[in-house]
Amino acid sequence: NKLNKTTSTKKYYRCVDPHCTVTVHTVVDDVMLNINGDHCHPCEPGKIQIRKFKQVVKIRAINETTPIPQIYGEKTARIDLSTLSIASLPSQREISNTLNRACRLQAPRISDSQIFDISESYTITLKN
């Protein structure tokens, strides 16, 4: 499921298949309230695993300073996929642009002024 909308009390999800009309309503802490509709397609566990793989690699790339090829290599070595799913797994080169963009968006904006605050994470050196 894909998060479609969030309010102060509920979250609304929809199926990731664009032709499927299934929606799910939950409270903020993901306790299910309501499911509307039936899926019009079979479950594809390989695609779900690949989506989770991409999410984990992206989160690690954003939160760590480990090089993207190393993160990708570590995660692909640990993932347990069928041969068909492995064939549809994106290569490190295919996913690197998305990961680099996500990392860049996390960096603070360069100030136009000569007076600015340096965030604490950028004030720590190797020797503290």
Higher-confidence residue of 3 and 74: namely 74
Higher pLDDT: 1 or 63? It is: 63
pLDDT tier at 70 (50, 70, 90 boundaries)? very high
**For residue 15, is pLDDT > 70?**
yes
Label residue 59 by pLDDT band (50, 70, 90).
very high
pTM over 0.95: no
Average model confidence (pLDDT) for the chain? Answer: 84
Query: Quick one: pLDDT at residue 83?
Result: 64
Q: How many helices (H) and strands (E) does the chain have?
A: 4, 4
Describe the strand order of the beta sheet including 32-36 as a list of residue ranges: 2-6, 10-14, 23-27, 32-36
User: 3-class DSSP state for residue 13?
Assistant: strand
Can you tell me the distance from the alpha carbon of 41 to that of 8, in angstroms, rounded to the nearest whole number?
Answer: 32
As a whole number, mean pLDDT of residues 36-59 equals: 84
Q: Domain extents for the chain?
A: 2-36, 45-106
